Chain A
């Protein structure tokens, strides 16, 4: 069974990423792994900062796990083999690590998101993945052309999981 890895960050483009990843997984009868990476906030070199950062990461990770579970349920209901994973770390590195560990056949990600800095061309995390990934990477744009949108009208859309 092939494996599709879909890193999402619950941004608007992530919604498109999920729709595309689910469609791909269903068409290719592949296992879908949805990953969310919580990036710990930068802290100065102080014990309080480090503790707060760790607390924040743990909280954010737990919240993400809940949302991921809701998504997992929806996707499974479509007859898809699906797993979710919530991790803490630098998104680019984590995504590549998991892709390698799973032996992912395709990574589906958004052209933006996944990072604090908005690149003009392609997001920094996406650029990093494109540079280092061993497998094909499907980059989903934030805006689809109208003709394509019309064709995939009946596609599944995530419901509710975007509300924290």
Chain B
């Protein structure tokens, strides 16, 4: 195959519809626009672990997995529409399985040039430093990974001798 122009770049943003996801999407949009890349939003549906819950697979209501998956598809479609209304074209894909593996798999399949994701989310266990899925991605990704912080932390006020936190002043 002969290529006349450089192939289009891809920004892949895994999102889990947590609080941080909108910030991740916004950051991915800015990056994709700047470099003229296509934007792909990936949602990985992680099925709940039944381990230790006393619930067994067959106890789940019929079509449970399918329902969870359909819900994910609907949320992605709604986000895609919302973005379209904002003038942003985004491709959406969903996968079912463990987030880390699925994200890396899709990054490779799409030949992603950048990953943009949240510092947390994408997993049940909240780590102190960086989420476990994010750490796993950082370790294995073959492209730059932009990590979006959870929230704009309020800047520490300048330390003055008589400064006290507001709540300390309330009597």
Please list the residues of chain A having a beta carbon within 8 angstroms of any beta carbon in chain B.
Answer: 20, 23-24, 27-28, 100, 106, 108, 111, 121-122, 127, 130-131, 133-141, 143-148, 151-152, 154
Contact = CB atoms under 8 A, between A and B. Distances in A.
B152 A24 contact: no
Interface in B78-120: 108, 111-114, 116, 119
B117 to A, nearest CB: 10
B130 A28 contact: no
A151 B34 contact: no
B141 interface: yes
A127 B130 contact: yes
A143 B142 contact: yes
B73 interface: no
B29 to A, nearest CB: 12
A138 B146 contact: yes
Contacts of B141: 141
A41 to B, nearest CB: 27
B47 interface: no
Contacts of A20: 144
A162 B114 CA distance: 26
Given A28-B34, A141-B144, A148-B113, A134 B149 contact: yes
Contacts of B153: 134
Contact of B138 (A24, A111, A144): A111
Contacts of B119: 130
Contacts of B114: 138
Given A130-B147, A139-B147, A147-B111, 16 more contacts: A24-B35, A27-B36, A111-B138, A122-B130, A127-B130, A131-B129, A131-B130, A136-B149, A139-B146, A141-B144, A141-B145, A143-B142, A145-B142, A148-B112, A151-B9, A151-B111
20 contacts: A24-B31, A27-B35, A106-B146, A111-B138, A122-B138, A122-B139, A127-B130, A130-B119, A134-B153, A136-B27, A136-B146, A137-B146, A138-B114, A139-B146, A140-B144, A141-B144, A144-B142, A145-B111, A148-B111, A151-B7
A135 B146 CA distance: 10
A148 B143 contact: yes
A17 to B, nearest CB: 9
Contact of A137 (B34, B36, B139, B147): B147
Contacts of A144: 142-143
Nearest to A133: B149
Contacts of A143: 142
